[in-house]
Structure 1
């Protein structure tokens, strides 16, 4: 797979330890990708040993920079991590080397399901952000319903929460359910509404009655969550092809 340069355009903090980075390909070519795919960032350890890290694309195709031009990722900062040092030290206009896109964690055009259960923890929610335009089309053209169960420890760690809430408010077929394991939002603060749950997403899943006749599920994030939800969905009768998984493991 060809390597290409990415130039940093902007960054902002999504959470105390997660940054949102916006890049442009610096070789004049677009990054043609299917929402749900990821890129790999290539760099060297301090001793010169080459290494790489994978990041799901959070890019929404109709970004203001133009279709296919922006390359957006969410980066978790790991104390003492080499990739963290790379991104934290990268100035605007600075460049990194990437390859891709890779992966098959994507919506399938041939699907005929009536509902998607999208389940995520942490930065595992980033591919669902990139899928929003596709989901909007499916809701309009096929009447598909979507439930996004998103697990975070606290409201401050609910990545892209404002965007998902705004999307849910504008689209009755899309239900956004944040699940907070440690701290619930206070009254009058963002995400203090009836669709907030206290606990883990795997504890909340049964409430939505997974149905093998209607549902396809996507699981992305913490491996323990992915495994627990996978077993729960199978127990509910979903066949393995109806359960699509991607596990995230933090690396230094």
Structure 2
């Protein structure tokens, strides 16, 4: 069993009507060394005492050239009647949870020589891309790589971390942020806002096996449909990196 460590809640806010942003500090004096794209597991017990856990991708942004940061940021989906929802909703500032990790390989690879990243996400699947922003900035500066982020949501209120992505796009001309909204558009949409699902707008960006590496994260149906579309466009499987999110109570 992986070693567990305490996390102390220092801040929280609502990102969307049913999703909260929780910021913790590791409370045992150790940094959380992680690669953007990895996740932690939060351990707790059901009411009957049965041990369980939930996985959360790290949304933390820090300068990896300076080493691991102190903050541990995650996005938590609230599920009616969910045990994890009760845990987080009942957690006060200064309260603790037990965690382990980091885990996972959904990360940018040092050996990548691609000209463009296609980052595609729905729901909380966008959180790893938030943590990747400093590394993407380095890749754009050093390799001239371009980045397109297609983020799917139903409404503007459900676009998680959109303010971070819009600000990053302003500061980095090689980064294009494309929100895809399936139900409701904002009153004065940005020119890059699209109506529909992310997989419906993928063809607009002409996926190219000679230049692209794609990352897919979020709803399993979206991941599967987009993976098939990328295969049809000629991208070999090693150039498509996937992580599926399945909601648990």
What secondary structure sits across from 1:139 in the alignment? Answer: helix
Aligned match of 1:11: 12
What secondary structure sits across from 1:61 in the alignment? Answer: coil
Which of 186, 198, 214 in structure 1 is aligned with 2:195?
A: 198
2:227 aligned with 1:230: yes
How far apart, in 1, do the equivalents of 2:63 and 2:94 lie? 22
Aligned match of 2:80: 79
| Deviation >4 Å, runs of 4+ | none
Aligned match of 2:103: 102
TM-score (norm 2): 0.97
Aligned residues: 246
2:228 aligned with 1:221: no
What secondary structure sits across from 2:10 in the alignment? Answer: strand
How far apart, in 2, do the equivalents of 1:43 and 1:2 lie? 14
How far apart, in 2, do the equivalents of 1:51 and 1:206 lie? 41
* Post-superposition offset of 1:2: 1.0
How far apart, in 1, do the equivalents of 2:26 and 2:112 lie? 32
* Post-superposition offset of 1:36: 0.2
Alignment of 1:38-77 (within 5 A): 38-62=39-63, 67-77=68-78
* Post-superposition offset of 1:67: 4.5
Residues 31-66 of structure 1: per-residue CA shift (max 9 Å, x gap):
000000000000000000000000000001249xx9
What secondary structure sits across from 1:140 in the alignment? Answer: helix
Structure 2 stretches lacking a partner, 5+ long: none
How far apart, in 2, do the equivalents of 1:142 and 1:228 lie? 30
How far apart, in 1, do the equivalents of 2:180 and 2:115 lie? 23
How far apart, in 2, do the equivalents of 1:25 and 1:61 lie? 15
Q: Provide the aligned C-alpha RMSD in A.
A: 1.0
What secondary structure sits across from 1:60 in the alignment? Answer: coil
How far apart, in 2, do the equivalents of 1:116 and 1:89 lie? 39
Structure 1 stretches lacking a partner, 5+ long: none
Alignment of 1:108-119 (within 5 A): 108-119=109-120
